Amino acid sequence: MKKSWIVLIVIALLLVIGYSSVKNSYNSMVSQEEGVAAQWSNVENVYQRRADLIPNLVNTVKGYAEHEKETLAAVVEARAKATSVNINPEKLDAQSLQQFQEAQSGLSSALSRLMVVVEKYPDLKANQNFLDLQAQLEGTENRIAVERRKFNEAAQAYNTTIRKFPKNIMANIFGFEKKIYFEAEKGAEKAPEVQF
């Protein structure tokens, strides 16, 4: 009778220790996963911010450079495409991320073509409104680079956590999955630059 009580107490103790360690690792994995999701929405925000600048930019350029209808139309179209791709962070996988990246880099290159074209219009380049928009656009490109880097850092920290022993066991049990990264892409990292 006594013996079974000791066994019970030992088991209870082990359970308590087990519980607290499981709780800690599980919770840390959850908060890191949430961190990745939050960082993803930051990424989408800065891309959205860029998309929001474009109507204003297009209107300003239109006033000075009415011969550049084609370039402007390309920007508008690329913007529409880019804003139509939205990804739920829960369903962030390699394919959807690639789709997202393609749409966004289409917009990047349309914008950089526009920026090349406006070089021909000194009046436009002296326009204060245009200069402000240009500064905002540059700032947004910087933000995109920063948020993408932070997303990769968050995803990397999370991936490291769920793959390290012993948390990998729990990650398996509770179904924590590896997150994907942004990959550096032609021109997507850099602000649109003027090149001849």
Partner 1 sequence: MKKLIVSIVALFLAVAIFAQDIPERPNPPRMVNDLANVLSTEQVQQLEAELVQFNNTTSTQIAVVTVPTLNGNDPSDFAVKLHEKWGVGQQGKNNGIVVLFKPKTGTEKGQVFISVGYGLEGVIPDAIAHRDVVDFEMIPRFKQNDVFGGLYYGTRVLMELASGEYTADEYHQSVNDKQGDGLFGGILFFLILFIVVPILRGRSKRYYSGGSSLPFWLAMGMMGAGRNSHSGSWGNFSSGGGGFGGFGGGMTGGGGAGGSW
Residues near partner 1 (CB under 8 A): 7-8, 11-12, 14-25, 27-28, 31, 42, 46, 128, 131-133, 135-136, 138-140, 142-147, 165-167, 169-170, 190
Determine if residue 175 is left, alpha or beta; phi over 0 gives left, psi from -120 to 50 gives alpha, anything else beta: left
Contact 79, 51 (CB under 8 A): yes
Between 102 and 153, CB nearer to partner 1: 153
Tokens of 3: 């013996």
Return d(Cα 61, Cα 55) in angstroms, integer.
10
Instruction: Calculate the dihedral angle through the C-alpha atoms of 157, 92, 148, 85, rounding to the nearest 10 degrees.
Output: -170
Minimum CB separation of residue 147 from partner 1 in Å reads: 6
Between 97 and 170, CB nearer to partner 1: 170
Between 103 and 154, CB nearer to partner 1: 154
Minimum CB separation of residue 95 from partner 1 in Å reads: 27
Q: Which residues touch 21 (CB under 8 Å, ≥6 apart)?
A: none
Minimum CB separation of residue 133 from partner 1 in Å reads: 8
Between 109 and 136, CB nearer to partner 1: 136
Return d(Cα 149, Cα 159) in angstroms, integer.
15
Minimum CB separation of residue 17 from partner 1 in Å reads: 4
Between 63 and 166, CB nearer to partner 1: 166
Q: Which residues touch 137 (CB under 8 Å, ≥6 apart)?
A: 50, 53, 57, 111, 191, 192
Minimum CB separation of residue 25 from partner 1 in Å reads: 4
